Amino acid sequence: MFQPDLLKEKVVLVTGGGTGLGRAMAERFVELGARLAICSRKLDVIQETAREIAQSRQGETFAVSCDVRDPEQVAAMADAVVERYGRIDVLVNNAAANFTSPTERLSHRAVDAILGPVLHGTFYCTLEVGKRWIAAAQPGVMLNIVATYVHSGSGFVVPSAVAKSGIAALTRSLAAEWGRYGIRQVAIAPGLFPTPGAMGQLAPTAEIQAMFQAEAVKRVPLGRVGDHSELADLASYLISDRAAYINGDIITIDGGEWLYGAGEFNGLSEVPAEHWDLLTEMRKSLKPRG
């Protein structure tokens, strides 16, 4: 399926595309023929990323400085991309922020530090690009990056859980409302895909990061973390014409982690085989009732 021209001539805008998963997706999009635009607050970072992608992937890449928390900057970013490429075909809402904390320790400023770029930024970009598509009668695709805890909630990252759940609701709601315009909404809920930026925000020291990752892997039935290329391939499929009938769905890619945590008895996978042998023998000795 992943032919070199899968995304040929599609203009793809990736927010937060300078590092981490955003960069991994951006690189893959270019490999598959997309004309790429990436944005971030840090212009020097995305300019360097754009230069490296253009050299290594031999594809057109455009860097735009934008703080997605500011709707005026979002509008200016969209103008710049349209001026460069003539249009936008795909919007990938990837810009994010997160940190761990007991919720009772949070101030309203700490809450806003997450809701601003994650929920408000995604909504602002969605509105800006969506309105342009509707006015021009142009179809398009919006891919939102959420998290597995949109299914379950999660302690210690409550602002992120609230923001990502809001994006999940946005994805499903606009799938129903904007589908008539030929605008598709899809989302990815990644599990454990370590990046230096995310791990640094969630765990402040290398020791804590190693402990966090080791404990997290124990909850993954497949027994490993995700590879960035796996998520990038999923994203490429979802924004391609091969996924043209997928609208409003949230695809989880986590090796089964959230399902493992949701099942009441899944923790019994830690029970040694000899204990199961003992339980089997005990059941054999029980007399049937009635």
pLDDT of res. 195: 79
- Asked if 193 and 232 count as a contact pair (C-beta separation under 8 A), the reply is no
Is residue 111 in some structural domain? yes
For residue range 116-143, list pLDDT tens digits in order.
999 999 999 999 999 999 999 999 999 9
The answer to the question of residue 239 being in a domain is yes
**Is residue 229 in a domain?**
yes
**Is 268's pLDDT higher than 80?**
no
Reported as a single tens digit per residue, the pLDDT across 213-261 is: 788 888 999 999 999 999 999 999 999 999 999 999 999 999 999 998 8
Residue with tokens 């290398």: 206
From the list 85, 124, 149, 260, the catalytic residue is: 149
Q: Identify whether 6 is part of a domain.
A: no
Query: Cα-atom radius of gyration of the chain, to the nearest Å?
Result: 21
The answer on pLDDT for 17 being more than 90 is: yes
Return d(Cα 32, Cα 39) in angstroms, integer.
20
DSSP secondary structure code for residue 116 in this structure: I
Quick one: pLDDT band at residue 196, thresholds 50, 70, 90? confident
With 70 as the cut, is the pLDDT of residue 200 above it? Answer: no
Nearest to 92 by CA among 254, 245, 257, 234: 234
CATH number of the CATH domain containing 196? 3.40.50.720
The pLDDT confidence band at residue 287, using thresholds 50, 70 and 90, is low
Q: Which amino acid is at 11?
A: V
**85 labelled catalytic:** no
Task: Say if 2 falls within a structural domain.
Answer: no
pLDDT digits (tens, 9 = 90+) for 43-65: 999 999 999 998 887 788 999 99
Residues 259-267 have a mean pLDDT of 83
Provide the edge-to-edge strand list for the sheet that holds 11-15: 61-65, 35-40, 11-15, 90-93, 140-145, 183-190, 250-253
What is the tally of structural domains in the chain? 1
Is residue 204 over pLDDT 90?
no
Asked whether residue 250 is assigned to any structural domain, the reply reads: yes
- pLDDT at site 18: 93
- The tens digit of pLDDT for each residue in 87-118 reads 999 999 999 999 889 999 999 999 999 999 99
Task: Output the pLDDT for position 45.
Answer: 92
Rounded to whole angstroms, how far apart are CA atoms 199 and 177?
Answer: 36
Please give the Cα distance from 272 to 51 (Å, whole number): 53
At how many degrees (to 10) do helices 108-115 and 158-178 cross? 40
pTM of the model: 0.90
| Helices within the chain (DSSP H only) | 20-31, 43-57, 71-85, 108-115, 121-135, 158-178, 196-202, 206-218, 228-239, 257-262, 273-285
Residue corresponding to tokens 């031999």: 58
Q: Residue 99 is part of which domain span?
A: 11-285
Q: Is residue 290 pLDDT above 60, yes or no?
A: no
pLDDT on residue 274:
86
Query: What local confidence, expressed as pLDDT, does residue 270 receive?
Result: 79
Note whether residue 78 is domain-resident: yes
Q: Is residue 271 part of a domain?
A: yes
Whether the per-residue pLDDT at 209 is higher than 80: the answer is no
